[in-house]
Amino acid sequence: MRRVESALAQHRTIRRGGELLSPAWTVISILVLIGVLIYFSHLRRRIAQLRAIARQAQHEQEAVLTLIDKLGEKITSKIDLEETLRILTEYIVEATRAESGAIFVLNEAERALQARVVIGPFPPLHETHDYVLTKPKYLTEKIKKDRIQVGEGIIGLVAEEGVPLLITDAEADPRVPRHTTLLSQVHSLILCPLRVRGQVLGVFVVVNKLGEAIFDSRDLALLQALADQAAVTTDLVKLYDVLAEQQRLENELRIAHEFQRMLLPSSFPCIENLDFYAMSEAATVVGGDYFDFFEVDEDHLGLVIADVSGKGIPGALIMAMVRAVLRAEARDNLSPKDVLSRVNERVLHDTKENVFITMTYGILNIRNHVLRFVRAGHEPLLVREAAAEWNGQNGVSQVSPEGIALGLVNDEIFRNTQEVEVALRPGDVALLYTDGVIEAMDQASQEYGRERLIQMVAGCDGASARDLVARVVEDIHQFTLGIPQHDDITMLALRVRGPGAQEQKLEPTRRTA
């Protein structure tokens, strides 16, 4: 006001050609001066606002850079999502000067959010009455266990809409559950979505500003800047975890494949008038298939094919245990039923409840070619009789004595397993296989099936054990047309040499896997 009065005084002394200005010019001059003064006043305020915005932007930038530095300091060779979330939450709570905070991560499959890290006395923001009866010291654990559906409550709402929310008066805001203000004094809070590539990964929440202050728009802007960086970091770490898990699984599969190959026999028995062949083709997911040949005594040979329920390394380890127990119990014991009863006891005692093994174990008399065997929940034995071929018949029979898988029931029940004998004559073929053979799928998700397998065995036309298995494998490949299979394909064939049969040299045959 003093500046205006001074300007008016100066104007009163202005003359034009020695004359004082007219009243009209005086008024115009005064108005112009007032306009100039108003303009500069607004300009000063705008400059002050721009400087405040610049300071706020600089503050946000410094906060984000500090967050990046902290992440760099803590996360070195090992990148862990939980540790990353903890670092993010601790710093954001500190930077926003909040009393408490939490980061809720979205489970996309369940469309639900769960608190992964909680800092400080964080109040429950989920609409449920269970919290009222929860002791304060257990409150954090309960908050971390709860799942909040997208669109449910204020946290679910922010996740659904992807828009931040600033609440300056929690007690008066109907979106804040009543029990929240009853359990703890909540004055103000900010909820900010973690967004990256157009998707919401979670929600970050800070509650109550330190010093009894109230969160404002500047705090909201700061949290948004930090949340953006937190979202990018979380997304990268989750991607790293996915890649690391894929690499871990690939390594586990490779190790399991190699371990599985080590457990399979490197060659097949060389016995006069008998022809053996077996193979195991690993699937994309390593199963627990295995086969084996071993001496029971000088006149008897043990034959086994099995499928362990576990996958990967656990399945391979169980397979190794079963193989060792079976070989130990089989020595000089001519009862397959008794041997498997003993194996069942060990499997039942030494493995988890959800682990079981299907198996066919047979003892072949190498003198008279009688095969005595038991079937513990495994696929039926297929036998093609050469005499039926000569008579022009199909000649393939399924031999499926009763039996339950290993590791499911106690010995009293398992003893009900049936033991049967099959007398093999010259030219006869016996085939053992796992369910991966008949469950191999084509592009239309149709299974190869047992009937098609029987037709292949029926048409073997005096082929050797190796040729029979090779023909079946080729037919499976033609059926599946290269579709990746999720179970191993394993077969063991036995052929008795005889009149009209194709003879083979009596030398060990290398196995394939």
Q: Is the pTM of this model over 0.95?
A: no
- Please tell me the predicted confidence (pLDDT) of residue 25: 67
Quote the CA–CA distance of 445 and 69 in Å, as a whole number. 52
Question: Do 45 and 83 sit in the same domain of this protein?
Answer: no
Judgement on whether residues 453 and 488 belong to the same structural domain of the protein: yes
The percentage of the chain sitting over the pLDDT mark of 90, rounded to a whole number, equals 40
Q: Which among 460, 465, 458 has a CA at the least distance from the CA of 397?
A: 458
CB atoms under 10 Å from CB of 503, counted, come to 10
Report d(CA 442, CA 476) in Å as an integer.
9
The answer to whether 436 and 489 are in contact (CB under 8 A) is yes
Strand partners, 107: 112
Please identify which residue in the block is written with the tokens 């303009």.
Answer: 39
Identify which of 500, 456, 495, 496 has the alpha carbon closest to the alpha carbon of residue 475: 456
Contacts of 389 (CB under 8 A, 6+ apart): 395, 427, 461, 462
Cα–Cα distance, 351 to 282 (Å, whole number): 24
Give how many domains the chain has, as a whole number. 3
* pLDDT for position 94: 87
Residue 354: what pLDDT? 76
Beta strands in 124-188 (DSSP E): 147-149, 165-167
Residue 119 three-state SS? strand
Tens place of pLDDT per residue across the chain (513 aa) = 555 455 545 555 444 444 555 666 666 777 677 766 676 666 667 666 656 555 555 555 555 445 445 544 444 445 567 877 888 888 888 888 899 999 998 888 889 999 988 998 888 887 665 555 455 567 788 888 889 999 999 999 999 999 999 999 988 898 888 766 556 788 999 999 988 878 898 899 999 999 888 999 888 988 888 888 778 777 767 766 677 777 777 777 777 777 777 788 989 999 999 999 999 987 765 567 889 999 999 999 999 999 988 766 677 778 888 888 999 999 999 999 999 999 999 888 887 777 889 999 999 999 999 999 999 999 999 999 887 654 444 689 999 999 999 999 999 999 999 999 999 999 999 999 999 999 999 988 899 999 999 999 998 877 899 999 999 999 999 999 988 887 889 999 999 987 544 443 333 343 444
Residue after which a domain boundary falls, among 14, 29, 61: 61
Is there a single domain that holds both residue 427 and residue 313?
Answer: yes
- Strand blocks (E) in 246-315: 274-281, 288-297, 300-308
Which residues make beta-bridge pairs with 30?
none
Residue 346 lies in a domain: yes
What is the helix (H) or strand (E) element at residue 397, kind and residue range? strand 396-399
- Note whether 238 and 319 are same-domain residues: no
Give domain status of residue 260, yes or no.
Answer: no
User: Residue 45 has which token pair?
Assistant: 């305020």
Query: What distance in Å separates the CA atoms of residue 396 and residue 429, rounded to the nearest whole number?
Result: 9
Residue 394 and residue 291 in one domain: yes
Residue 69 lies in a domain: no
Tell me the residue type at 449.
G
Tokens of 372: 């005595």
Instruction: Encode pLDDT of 99-157 as tens digits.
Output: 999 999 888 888 999 998 899 888 888 766 555 545 556 778 888 888 999 999 999 99
Radius of gyration of the chain (CA): 40
- Is residue 68 situated within a structural domain? no
Among residues 243, 277, 304, which one ends one of the domains?
Answer: 243
Question: Do 163 and 237 share a domain, yes or no?
Answer: yes
CATH number of residue 166's parent domain: 3.30.450.40
Q: Which residue has the tokens 């003893």?
A: 415
Whether 66 is in a domain gets the answer: no
Residue found by looking up tokens 């009763």 in the block: 402
Q: How far is CA 120 from the centre of its chain?
A: 31
Residues 368 and 466 in one domain: yes
Cα 364 to Cα 369: distance, rounded to the nearest angstrom? 6
What's residue 6's pLDDT?
56
On whether residue 505 sits in a domain, the answer given is: no
Same domain, 203 and 338: no
Q: Rounded to an integer, what distance in angstroms lies between the CA atom of residue 305 and that of residue 293?
A: 9
pLDDT score for 15: 47
Domain boundary, last residue among 196, 228, 243: 243
Residue closest to 176 by CA, chosen among 158, 193, 163: 158
Is residue 174 exposed (0-12), middle (13-18) or buried (19+ Cβ within 10 Å)? exposed
**Residue carrying the six token digits 């033609």:** 478
Residues 9 and 96 in one domain: no
Sign, Cα dihedral of 325, 331, 334, 338: negative
Question: Based on the domain organization, do 239 and 335 belong to the same domain?
Answer: no
Which pLDDT belongs to residue 43?
A: 62
Q: Using alpha carbons, select from 352, 353, 355, 327 the residue that is nearest to residue 340.
A: 327
Structure-token pair, residue 374: 């038991």
* DSSP, residue by residue, 220-280: HHHHHHHHHHHHHHHHHHHHHHHHHHHHHHHHHHHHHHHHHHHHS-SB----TTEEEEEEE
Residue 369 to residue 427: CA distance in whole angstroms: 11
Q: What is the pLDDT of residue 332?
A: 92
Residue 147, amino acid: R
70 is a domain residue: no
Tokens standing for residue 334: 């001519």
User: What is the distance of C-alpha 38 from the center of its chain?
Assistant: 66
Would residue 262 count as lying in a domain? no
- The answer to whether residues 189 and 331 belong to one domain is no
The dihedral built from the CA positions of residue 411, 414, 418 and 423, taken in this order, carries a sign that is negative
Torsion of the alpha carbons at 339, 292, 441 and 464, rounded to the nearest 10:
-120
Q: Which domain holds residue 400?
A: 267-496
Cα separation, 37 vs 50, whole angstroms: 20
**323 and 368 housed in the same domain:** yes
Tens of pLDDT, residue by residue over 420-430, are 999 999 999 99
